[in-house]
Chains A and B, each alone.
Chain A
Amino acid sequence: MAHEATDLLTEPKEALAPSASSEPVDQPRPSPRGRIEGGVDALVLGATFDGLAAAALLGKAGLKTILLGGEEAEPSIREFAPGYRCVDGEHLVGALDPELVSALDLYRHGLAYAARRLDTVYFFSDGAALLTDGDIYRLRESVAAMSEADAAAFAAFAERALDAAQILRGVFEGGDMSDLPAALADGMRRALHDSLEEVLDDTFTDERLKAMLAAEGSFRSAARPGDPFTFVSLVRRWAGEAAGLQGAFAYPEGGALGVHKAARRAAEAGRVDFRLAAAVKSVLVEWDGVAGVETEDGGQIRAPIVVCALDARRAFSGLIGANALDIEFQAGLIAPAPQIASVRVNFALAGGLPEGRAKPHLARRLFYAPSRLELRRAYNAAREGWREGEPAAPLIMEVVFPSALEAGLAPANGPEQGHVASALLHPAPYRLEADESFARAVERAARATFEKIAPGVSARIRAVDIRLPPEPAAPPVLAAWARARHVAAASGVRGLFFCGPEAQVGPGIQGAAARRAAQAAIRYHRGRG
Chain B
Amino acid sequence: MKQRRQFDLVIVGADAPGLAAAACAARRRADIELRVAVVRTGDEPSHGASAPGVPDFVWRQLDLHRTALQARPVEALVSVFEDGRMLATSRNGQRMKQILDEACGGIHNLYTDFSAEMRRLWNRADEIMHGEAARPFGGALLAALASEDSTALALSMTQDCEALLDDYFSDEAFKTHLTSVALMPFGLGGDEPGSALALAAANAPAAWRLRAGDREPSLVKVLEDVCKAASVAIIDGAVRDIEAPDDKTRHVILSDGEALRTPIVMASRAMSEIAARLGAASAASTPMGRREGACAEARVKLARPADPPGGSTAAIFYAAGSIDALQAARDAALVGRLPDDPPIYFEFVRDEIHVRAPYCPAVFYTDDQPRDWSEQDRQALGRQLARRLSKLLNGAAHDVRRVDVKVFVRSPAKSARGPGVLIVPPACHDEIGAAARLAMDLVHGA
By a beta-carbon cutoff of 8 Å, the part of chain A in contact with chain B is 176-178, 180-181, 184, 186, 188-195, 197-198, 201-202, 223, 226-229, 328, 331-332, 336, 371, 373, 376-377, 379-380, 383-384, 476, 478-479, 481-483, 485-486, 489-490
Contacts and interface: CB of A to CB of B under 8 A. Distances in A.
A101 B146 CA distance: 27
A125 to B, nearest CB: 9
Given A186-B136, A377-B335, A476 B141 contact: no
A489 B287 contact: no
A177 B142 contact: yes
B281 A198 contact: yes
Interface in B148-168: 148, 151-152, 154-156, 158-160, 163, 166-167
Nearest to B117: A331
A202 B417 CA distance: 8
Contact of A478 (B152, B158, B334, B365): B158
23 contacts: A177-B146, A178-B146, A178-B147, A181-B139, A181-B142, A186-B139, A190-B285, A192-B139, A193-B137, A193-B285, A198-B290, A198-B412, A201-B413, A223-B193, A227-B193, A332-B156, A332-B159, A336-B160, A373-B336, A373-B368, A476-B158, A479-B158, A485-B151
B193 A192 contact: no
Given A189-B136, A229-B287, A380-B334, A180 B142 contact: yes
A194 B292 CA distance: 13
A178 B139 CA distance: 12
Contacts of B287: 193, 228-229
Contact of B292 (A226, A328, A373): A226
B366 to A, nearest CB: 12
Contacts of B139: 181, 184, 186, 189, 192
Given A178-B147, A181-B146, A489-B151, 20 more contacts: A178-B146, A181-B139, A186-B139, A189-B136, A189-B142, A192-B138, A193-B285, A202-B280, A202-B416, A227-B192, A227-B194, A229-B193, A332-B152, A332-B155, A373-B368, A380-B334, A476-B158, A478-B141, A479-B193, A482-B155
Interface in B357-391: 365, 368
A228 B146 contact: no
Contact of A191 (B138, B146, B292): B138
A486 B155 contact: yes
A193 B290 contact: no
A124 to B, nearest CB: 14
A479 B331 CA distance: 21
Contacts of A191: 138
B446 interface: no
B175 interface: no
Contacts of B142: 177, 180-181, 184, 189, 192
Given A198-B290, A482-B145, A376 B412 contact: no
A482 to B, nearest CB: 4
A305 to B, nearest CB: 22
6 smallest beta-carbon distances between A and B, as pairs: A192-B138, A228-B287, A189-B139, A189-B138, A228-B194, A482-B154
Interface residues of B, number: 47
B155 A197 contact: no
Interface string B187-205: 0000111100000000000
Nearest to A486: B151
A476 B193 CA distance: 8
A483 B155 contact: yes
B115 interface: no
Contact of B412 (A190, A201, A331): A201
Contacts of B138: 188-194
A134 B75 CA distance: 62
B151 A482 contact: yes
B141 A192 contact: yes
Nearest to B336: A373
Given A201-B412, A485-B151, A228 B193 contact: yes
Contacts of A379: 331
Nearest to B411: A201
Contacts of A371: 368
B303 interface: no
Interface in B262-306: 280-281, 283, 285-287, 290-292
Nearest to B142: A181
Contacts of A186: 136, 139
Contacts of B158: 229, 476, 478-479, 482
Contacts of B416: 201-202
Nearest to B154: A482
A95 to B, nearest CB: 20
B68 interface: no
A81 B439 CA distance: 68
A452 to B, nearest CB: 14
Contact of B167 (A223, A331, A482): A331
Interface in B407-436: 412-413, 416
